[in-house]
Amino acid sequence: MNATLFRDLSTQLAAGLRRLPDKPEETIEATLRALWQAAAGMAVSAERAGLLPLPELDAAGTGMLRSLVARRLAGVPLAHLTGRQHFMGLEMLAGPEALIPRRETELLGRGALERLQALANERDAVRVVDVCTGCGNLALVFAHHVPSARVFAADLSPEALALARRNARHLGLAARVEFREGDLLAPFDEAAFHGNVDLLVCNPPYISSKKVDILAEEIIGHEPRLAFDGGPLGIRIVERLLREAPRYVRPGGSLAFEVGLGQGPALVKRMAKLASYRRLATIEDQAGEIRVILATL
């Protein structure tokens, strides 16, 4: 029964599913395996589902699976159906309250984590601030991998922060990350953070407002617009970040942030002209596009 059902539903998905390039892990097989586990009562990401055997489904489970496949074909994100998304080794809770973590953001995560580990080797304790934290994925990765880090995170959306706090409890990291609500760095505008941040990280909204309107329905119909809309040119939040970061990051500390396709070269040139930023570095994706900028202040 499993083989026949799997084959039939795979055919349905292959014929009707519009796969998005920013979620390469969601192959037809991985999608069906994740939905199968969900129908059996187990919440796992597409990446995790590939490591597990398929359980037998009774009639109710089979009906649930067919319903989940239908909803996926209708455009509901896989992570919303399973309640999980894998990010840098962690099984995160996912929901419509915040952006679903993308594989491309792991470029930022790995680059920032490397900086953080180097800083942690130099100091007894390091202070990390993650703004536009969303579901808390970057902040929680830092806390998980660098025990000496004092991690703070903020977001403008109370719904996103609620999900981030649930993620912290889910991962056993609630005591390691402090979440604050507010606009960009405003939640940290106090003496304790002025010139005392070792690493400032941001995955900002960076899509221009007009392009947000034409995003795939799977994205704009199910994830918060706030997580994508970067203003008329897509760099409104990045421009604020570059202005405000020097007040918070200590000399010798680092700033790391993600950029949209095509934005990297101009931003690097702009930062090279600013006295606050030195030793600029970039991380490119597989297509050679700059997706992450790192700077020492």
Q: How far is CA 151 from CA 190, 229, 238, in A?
A: 16, 26, 21
Please state which CATH number belongs to domain 2-87. Answer: 1.10.8
Q: What is the mean pLDDT of the chain?
A: 95
φ/ψ (deg, to 5) at 259: -130, 160
Average pLDDT over residues 134-153: 97
Report residue 72's pLDDT band, with 50, 70 and 90 as the boundaries: very high
Q: Structure tokens of 204?
A: 């900002």
Cβ atoms of 245 and 294 closer than 8 Å: no
* pLDDT higher than 60, residue 252: yes
Residue 168 to residue 175: CA distance in whole angstroms: 8
Q: What is the predicted pLDDT for the residue at 163?
A: 98
Q: How far is CA 16 from CA 3, 29, 37, in A?
A: 20, 14, 21
> Concatenated DSSP letters for 143-163?
HHH-TTEEEEEEES-HHHHHH
Average pLDDT over residues 285-294: 96
Tell me which amino acid residue 161 is.
L
Report residue 102's pLDDT band, with 50, 70 and 90 as the boundaries: very high
* pLDDT higher than 90, residue 124: no
| CA 101 to chain CA centroid, nearest Å | 3
Report residue 1's pLDDT band, with 50, 70 and 90 as the boundaries: low
Residues of the chain with pLDDT > 70: what percent?
100
Please state which CATH number belongs to domain 105-296. Answer: 3.40.50.150
Residue 146 to residue 267: CA distance in whole angstroms: 29
* pLDDT higher than 70, residue 204: yes
Q: What is the predicted pLDDT for the residue at 82?
A: 98
Q: What is the predicted pLDDT for the residue at 2?
A: 81
Residue 151 to residue 230: CA distance in whole angstroms: 25
* Domain segments of the chain as ranges: 2-87, 105-296
Higher pLDDT, 93 or 234: 93
Report residue 167's pLDDT band, with 50, 70 and 90 as the boundaries: very high
Residues in CB range of 272: below 8 A, 6 or more apart:
280
Report residue 57's pLDDT band, with 50, 70 and 90 as the boundaries: very high
Q: Are strands 290-296 and 249-258 parallel, antiparallel or unpaired?
A: antiparallel
Report residue 123's pLDDT band, with 50, 70 and 90 as the boundaries: confident
Q: Structure tokens of 100?
A: 């679903």
